[in-house]
Amino acid sequence: MGRRDAAVALGELLADPGFPYRGRWALLGTTPRRGICDAFGMTARHRAQLVALWESSPGGLALAHPDVLGEQSRRGNVQPDVARPARDYHSVWVLEDHHIGADRRPREHRTTQTLAADVDELRHITLRIDADCVAVDVEQGGRASGGITRITEGLWGQRIVLDRPAARGEHRNLVYTTYFRYAEDPPPEFRRSGGSDPHAHIEIRVQFHPDCLPTEICHCVWPTLDRPPLTEAVLQLDEAHSAAMVFNILQPGGLVGFRWTWPDQS
């Protein structure tokens, strides 16, 4: 256990309606909570994250956990009912950076991840993607092995071989970037489905090209792929033209992420 683990645990305690801490936090009111943010010297982006998490739903519903490598959606085209092979690891911590280009299309997606082996000797993982991509570049922790292959309808995989095998329970750090190509404009959203890592800690950040900014962006929680959001909260882009949220808990089948509106779609 370290400082990051302690911070995650604190967030879960504040979000859990089964404990009294959430109600006590609410009783503090807006001004004392702002003072707490000041005491920690939080940036405007992190303040906005905390406010959106608190206001988006009761009972901590907006706190969400996505399956880091198993059910990613670059186009908002998650297929949660497609059978997927069992994984030999689980995700502990992830930072996802999703970049939208000036043409309104996803350009690249950079993942920084800590995973833990659930088998005695984990040698490789499979990055699963449901969008067309040019390549996967592994920058740290392993190497891409072979080309991108089709797993099932609408789902492709890229094997990543770890630098060295991981023993059961051992952590490994990975950094890799997925590059995309699109023949047409995808929906203006980024969604991820819930998976099998109930205690993973993840931050998702969507960054826009300065020449093509949305008029509005919302953090959303969807119950299923084909239903409207359960909750959504408008966010403000920061000085880097990005929006970010931190997720911790999500039931399998649900989805979290962002959706936005382009100027000519208002």
**What pLDDT was estimated at residue 167?**
96
Q: Which residue has the higher pLDDT, 135 or 196?
A: 135
Name the residue among 166, 119, 169 with its Cα closest to residue 142. 166
Encoded tokens for 14: 């504040």
Mean pLDDT across the stretch 113-131?
A: 90
Please report, for residues 65, 128, 266, the alpha-carbon distance to residue 71 in angstroms, rounded to integers and kept in the order given: 12, 7, 30
- Examine residue 33 and state whether it is found in any structural domain, yes or no: no
Q: How many structural domains comprise the chain?
A: 1
**Stretch among 202-206, 225-229, 233-237, 253-257 having the lowest mean pLDDT:** 253-257
Beta strand extents in the chain (DSSP E only): 72-73, 89-100, 106-117, 122-129, 133-140, 142-152, 155-166, 171-180, 189-193, 201-208, 216-222, 231-235, 242-247, 255-261
Question: For residue 178, is it within any domain?
Answer: yes
pTM assigned to the model: 0.67
Average pLDDT, the chain: 75
Task: Please report whether residue 9 resides in a domain.
Answer: no
pLDDT given for residue 176 in this prediction: 95
Residue 28, pLDDT score: 60
pLDDT tens column, 32-73: 656 666 666 665 545 544 544 444 433 333 333 223 333 344
Supply the pLDDT for residue 256.
83
Q: What CATH number did the domain enclosing 249 receive?
A: 2.60.40
- DSSP, collapsed to helix, strand or coil, labels residue 22 as helix
Using one digit for the tens of pLDDT, what is the confidence trace for 62-115?
333 223 333 344 444 333 444 455 678 988 888 889 999 999 999 999 999 999
Tell whether 245 is covered by a domain.
yes
Distance from C-alpha of 141 to C-alpha of 221, rounded to nearest angstrom:
32
Give me the pLDDT at residue 213, please: 97
Residue 239 has pLDDT above 80, yes or no: yes
Residue 70 is predicted with a pLDDT of 34
What is the rounded average pLDDT of the residues 193-214? Answer: 81
Q: Is 154 a member of any domain?
A: yes
3-state secondary structure of 120: coil
Is 229 among the domain residues?
yes
**Confidence band, pLDDT 50/70/90 cuts, at residue 124:** very high
Q: How much is the pLDDT for 259?
A: 94
243 or 91, higher pLDDT: 243
Task: Give the pLDDT confidence score for residue 229 in this predicted structure.
Answer: 87
Any domain includes 19: no
Q: Is residue 181 part of a domain?
A: yes
Please state, for a pLDDT cut of 70, what percent of the chain lies above it. Answer: 62
Q: Choose among 125, 180, 193, 199: nearest CA to 157.
A: 125
Over residues 152-200, the pLDDT tens digits come to: 877 788 999 999 999 999 999 999 999 988 888 889 999 876 565 656 7
Task: Check whether 14 has a pLDDT greater than 50.
Answer: yes
Residue with tokens 């990055």: 127
Residue 159 domain boundaries: 72-265
- Residue by residue, DSSP assigns 42-106 as --HHHHHHHHHHHHS-GGGTT-----TTTSEESSS---TTS--PPPSEEEEEEEEEEEE-TTSSE
**Per-residue b/e over 66-97, b at no fewer than 16 CB within 10 Å?**
bbbbbbbbbbbebebeeebeebbbbbbbbbbb
User: CA 40 from chain center: how many Å?
Assistant: 24
